[in-house]
Structure formats: C-alpha cells, structure tokens
Chain A
Amino acid sequence: MDLLTILQVLDSTVRLATPLLLACLAGLFSERAGIIDIGLEGKMLGSAFFAAAIASLSGSVWLGLLAGIGASLVLSAIHGLASITYRGNQLISGLAITMLAQGMTVLIAQDWFKQGGRTPSLEGGARFEPITLPFAEALQGVPVLGPIYHDLISGHTILVYVAFIMVPVTWWVLFRTRFGLRLRAVGENPAAVDTAGVSVVGLRFAAVMICGVLCGLAGAYLATGLQAGFVKEMTAGRGYIALAALIFAKWRPWYALYACLLFGLLQAVALRYQNIDLGAFVLPVQFMDALPYILTVVILAGFVGKAIPPRAGGEPYVKER
C-alpha cells in the first residue's frame, strides 16, 4: 500500500466521519444533560431534507443550511417538550421523532418537487464546494507532508472543518465553563443543581437545542456537502452509528473524535477493499460493516474499561414527589 492509497482511504475516512462526529457531539451535549436522544437519525434526516430543499429553491446553500438547522431545532423542541416539560419517555420520544422525520420528509418532498420524495439535483451555489486551504497547491511538491496537506487536510467543504473545530469547542464548553459544569451536573444529579437555584429545565432545553444545531449541521453536510440533493432515508442509519460512537467514546468529546474517525475508517476500508484477504481466510465486507456495533457491544460489556453513562440519563426531573 503506497502513500497515495493510504491518503485516499484517510480522505474518505474524514468525509464519512464528519456526519458521525457532528451527530455524536450533538448526542454528547444532550446525554450529558441527562436527555437520551435516539432521535439523532431523525433530526439529521429532517435537516438534510430542508437544507437541500431550501438550497434548491433559493439557490443559496447558506439559506439551506439555516433551514436545515431550523428544521432540526423544531424536532429538538418537540423532543424537549415531550421529555423535559411533559416528562415523557425519552426513548419513545426520540423514536417518534425519527419516524416523523422519515415520513414527513418524503411527504413534503413529494408535494413540493413531485420527484418521488427527493429534491432536484443541486448545482453551483446551492452546494458546499470543497475549500482549498492556503498554500495547498504550492506545498504539493513537498515530499510526504505536501500530499498530506493537499489531499487530506485541504479540499474539504467548510462543514468538515467546523465539525473538527467543534471537538475542542465542546471540550472547552463542557469542562471549562460554568455553563458546562452545570450542564454536566444536571445529567448527574439534577436535584443538586436545583437546590443551588439553577433551572434544570432551562439547562436541559439549552442542551437539547445545542444538540439540534449540531444535528442540523450533520444533516446539511449529508445533503449539500457530500451529496447534491436529498434522497429518502439518505442518513441510512448514521444517527445510530453516532450513538454507538458516543457510547464507545464514553461520553467524552476527544474520545468521540477518535471513535468517529475509527468508525469512519472502518467504513472507508470496507468500501475500498470489500473482502479483505488475510491469507488464511477472507474477511467479508459484512464483518467490516458490523464492526462498529460489535466494538460498541464489547465496550458496553466492560472488556475495555467501563462505559458509565451520566447517572440521571433517561430520567425526567421531578421537583418534589
């Protein structure tokens, strides 16, 4: 395997890991605040559709991005309303949001565009174009580092860089700010936060909304960055892989980055090599596809350290009984 091939696989890894990473960080905010969110898939799908639809109608990808985030925020608000205000079951609410998104996107797409639940292909300014970072062309000739900078680091759409910047930002917000401390506390022991006079409901809503923004970015990236349009159910289970990555990362931002890159790499390798011949036996592509889930189960079973979720996760907060 030469450098070029490795770079191509890694390049593909970055593209495949980006939506996972954004969704994973979204889930991180929500779950750290004690709201389990299995509706990541649905929010991404809703955002993907509205991002593509508005970009297609207006011709501006930025308006599309805003619409995508808006759609994701609306779904988040529904989740917040059901699980925080009305103290409903968070799993059921999340599942309902995914189902709602799966049905509504196709229905609205059919009504607006009459193309069978898809949007028209986006062109020109309606798509995120790859960005060439400064000096990428000039440095291309430099051995090893030049191609790495030019092929791997440069040449992605802006949302990819946003996703990677969000990792230190998330870390800083959660572990270095007062807001972050309270947010984590509300996921561990909401009663203590309430005693201190801080609004549990307010904090949880803030977390769910941040989750909505990040899911919106993930969905918009799928439809307007990676692809040129929306196709029904185009998220294809990525929201669930992001959840697996979140558990794999033990609810920590930097680990989330590594987990998403690992899962992205597994996908990229599976796509590039399909069946891998290991000499003694052939590793089928299905095994590679299943590996993220297998690894998550291994982690959950406690083989590689312990994955302890936020203590108050999944429980609605009731002030007094």
Chain B
Amino acid sequence: MSFMHKILATSAALALSAGAALAEPALIYDLGGKFDKSFNEAAFNGAEKFAAEGGSYRDIELQSEAQREQALRRFAEAGFNPVITTGFSIASILGEVAKDYPDTKFVNIDGWLPEVPPNVQLIGFQEHQGSYLVGMMAAMASESNTIGFIGGMDIPLIRHFACGYAQGAKAVNPDIEIIANMTGTTPAAWNDPVKGSELTKAQISQGADVIYAAAGGTGVGVLQTAADEGILSIGVDSNQNHLHPGKVLTSMLKRVDVAVYNSMKAGTDLETGGFTTLGLAENGVGYALDDNNAPLVSDEMKAAVDTAREQIINGELNVVAYYENDSCPALNF
C-alpha cells in the first residue's frame, strides 16, 4: 500500500488521539475497507445504529498491515473503550497489545487466539450454518444441477463458508455438482473483481447457474457478471440483494452489525475474557429475504430452509464445521 496512504492515515490517527472524549467506543476496520458492501460495511452499519441512538464513536480504516498495532495503541492510549476490531488478521497483534492496556476492553470479530487475555472478547460466527441454508436454496434454485462457490483469499475461514454451502446443497440434492474456486492466496484476492468475473464466467461455462460469492470486493465482480449472464448469485455478510434486484437469489447474512452494536451498547461493562459464538439460534447468521429477491424464493424453498433452520437450532441437524478436522465431508478443495 502506498506511502501516501500511510501518511494520511497516521495523521488521521494523531488527530483522533488529540480530541478524544472519555470511554467512547472505537472501531478498527480490516483491510477490505469500510465500504466493502460486505463484512466491514456491516460493522460500520452496526456502529451507525449505535450513533443514531445518541452514542458516538471513532473509527479508522487500515491501509496496511503495519498500521494494525499503531491504530490499536493509539485508540487505547487515547482512552477509547471498548476498542472493536474486525477481521481475523488483527487478532494475534491484539493479543499482544491488550496486555499493555489492562483497563481497556478489546473486541475482535472473526479472530482466534490460543489464550484470550482477560480484557479481550472474541466474537465468532457459525458461518457454516448460514451457508448451509443458502446452499439449500442454491440447490433448489439450480436447474442445471451445478452450483458454484467463489471464495476470496484461500484461508480456512473461507473454506468454512464453502463447506457449509456444499453440505446444504448436498442435503437437498445428493447428486448436485459443486464447483469451488478461490480467487487467490494473497490479500489482493479480496479486491480483484476482474478475476471474480473471469471465475464466474468459467463456472458458468462449466454449467453453474447459481454462484455464491464469499470474496469481499471481488464478489462485486461475481455478482455483476452473474447478473449480466442471466444466472443467480448469492451475496455474503451484508444484505447484497439490492445490488442487482431480481438477480441475487439471497445473501448469507453475518450479523457483524449486531455484534458491533451490542459491544458498543455494553460499553465499559462489556464482558471479556472469552469467546462468543453467534449462530442461527442467536440470529448471528441467516439468509436475507426482502422485496428484491422475494419473487426468486418459492414458498417451498422458504419452508425447507426454515425447517432446516429449526433443526439446526435444536440440534437435530449437525452441520460439520471445516475447522473440526480441516476437511470438508461434502467438498474436496
């Protein structure tokens, strides 16, 4: 990332630290950027909801890996509390930094630490459960018996999405074919819509007629090409149904906004020192249904998905997590 960015962001961080009020929450977005129409934007929406109810908060968009620690320390030293971070990549640095600021509470969404410091709370989502539901919908909407998955950077979290999706699709139709591709192995894979488009075209030519994109900014290219080519797509994290009304089957919602809102609402009383996992039961994940995709979702589809949702919540149905043994029963990568 550019030097220019760093200077701008550093001066922004300095400016922030100068005029800080006491015990306001702060939010640090991951490299995808605040308006990625997806994961980070969901965090922003949660914070905006908090602001709309009279709260105030500060936020910063990171421009490079090196800024993570800097931003954390700035916010902590300026007295912001709690400091909320998004993305798994910041977790390890957070684990170190948090020890130096025992009075500040930190939250990380999506991250994992072997030992959670007492002032850190990690929030995770059961993405495989939500992906299972949209996988079912994809399989029911598909006429070619082939569906696709396009991931961003090839990391276990994204495989976790793909795995739940494949299990859901196979539950509806055991013979369905699932084509899964990853955009790349570097963070550039989150922001390469051209590659997303080409992957979409490649999957369409292999017969896919519903494609699920879990790829950040790259997903914009996937959804665009799917709409251009007249097939259905599935959005991720935020509700992306409105991007191409009538062309996006649904979106796998990951309620990062709720997690951020609740953390900000709790303020300094936030419980820390452990993991929170938000699944279907907590409404942490789910599928999006609104005016834009209502004509695409049949009653039968909705009934099947809602039944599965109930079954997952009361434990009758177990969706295997990719993390359990680093492999997926329904899909080979």
Interface, chain A (partner B; CB < 8 A):
4-5, 8, 12, 15-16, 98-100, 102-103, 115-118, 121, 222, 226-229, 231-234, 236-237, 267-268, 271-272, 274, 285-286, 289
Cα distance A76–B221 when bound, in Å? Answer: 29
| Contact, CB under 8 Å: B5 / A234 | no
Give chain B nearest CB distance to A230 CB in angstroms: 9
| Contact, CB under 8 Å: A234 / B194 | yes
Cα distance A102–B3 when bound, in Å? Answer: 10
Closest chain B residue to A113 by CB distance?
Answer: B35
Give chain B nearest CB distance to A157 CB in angstroms: 12
| Contact, CB under 8 Å: A271 / B195 | yes
Given the contacts A103-B8, A286-B185, A289-B184, A234 and B34 also touching, CB distance less than 8 Å: no
| Contact, CB under 8 Å: A227 / B184 | no
| Contact, CB under 8 Å: A103 / B4 | yes
Closest chain B residue to A233 by CB distance?
Answer: B191
Give chain A nearest CB distance to B46 CB in angstroms: 16
Task: Show 15 A/B contacts (Cβ-Cβ < 8 Å), sorted by A.
Answer: A8-B201, A12-B202, A100-B2, A103-B2, A103-B4, A115-B35, A116-B33, A116-B36, A121-B243, A229-B224, A231-B220, A233-B188, A236-B192, A236-B194, A271-B202
| Contact, CB under 8 Å: B5 / A103 | yes
Q: Decide if B52 is an interface residue (CB 8 Å cutoff).
A: no
Closest chain B residue to A273 by CB distance?
Answer: B202
CB contact list, B15-53 vs A, under 8 A? 33-37, 41
| Contact, CB under 8 Å: B35 / A102 | no
What string of 1s and 0s marks CB contacts (under 8 Å) between B64-76 and chain A? 0000000000000
Q: Decide if B167 is an interface residue (CB 8 Å cutoff).
A: no
| Contact, CB under 8 Å: B198 / A15 | yes
CB contact list, B178-232 vs A, under 8 A? 181-182, 184-185, 188, 191-195, 197-199, 201-202, 205, 217, 220-221, 224, 228
Cα distance A5–B181 when bound, in Å? Answer: 17
Q: List the 4 closest pairs (A to B, CB-CB), nearest first.
A: A116-B35, A103-B4, A99-B2, A8-B205
Cα distance A99–B7 when bound, in Å? Answer: 12
Q: Decide if B303 is an interface residue (CB 8 Å cutoff).
A: no
Give chain A nearest CB distance to B244 CB in angstroms: 8
| Contact, CB under 8 Å: A271 / B181 | yes
Residues of B within 8 A of A236 (CB): 188, 191-192, 194-195
Residues of A within 8 A of B182 (CB): 274, 285
Residues of B within 8 A of A4 (CB): 205
What's the dominant secondary structure at chain B's contact region?
helix
**Contact check: which of A99, A226, A237 meets B3 at CB < 8 Å?**
A99
Closest chain B residue to A127 by CB distance?
Answer: B228
**Contact check: which of A5, A115, A118, A228 meets B205 at CB < 8 Å?**
A5
Closest chain A residue to B228 by CB distance?
Answer: A228
Q: A16-B198, A99-B2 are in contact. List 6 more A-B contacts (CB 8 A).
A: A227-B194, A228-B228, A233-B191, A268-B198, A286-B185, A289-B184
Residues of A within 8 A of B197 (CB): 226-227
Given the contacts A102-B5, A115-B35, A116-B35, A232 and B184 also touching, CB distance less than 8 Å: no
Closest chain B residue to A275 by CB distance?
Answer: B333
Residues of A within 8 A of B224 (CB): 121, 227-229
Give chain B nearest CB distance to A263 CB in angstroms: 14
Closest chain B residue to A100 by CB distance?
Answer: B4
What string of 1s and 0s marks CB contacts (under 8 Å) between B147-160 and chain A? 00000000000000
Residues of A within 8 A of B221 (CB): 227, 231
Residues of A within 8 A of B4 (CB): 99-100, 102-103
Closest chain A residue to B8 by CB distance?
Answer: A103
Give chain A nearest CB distance to B48 CB in angstroms: 13
Residues of A within 8 A of B33 (CB): 116-117, 232
Residues of A within 8 A of B188 (CB): 233, 236-237
Given the contacts A103-B4, A121-B224, A274-B181, A231 and B201 also touching, CB distance less than 8 Å: no
Give chain A nearest CB distance to B178 CB in angstroms: 13
| Contact, CB under 8 Å: A231 / B217 | yes
| Contact, CB under 8 Å: A234 / B191 | yes
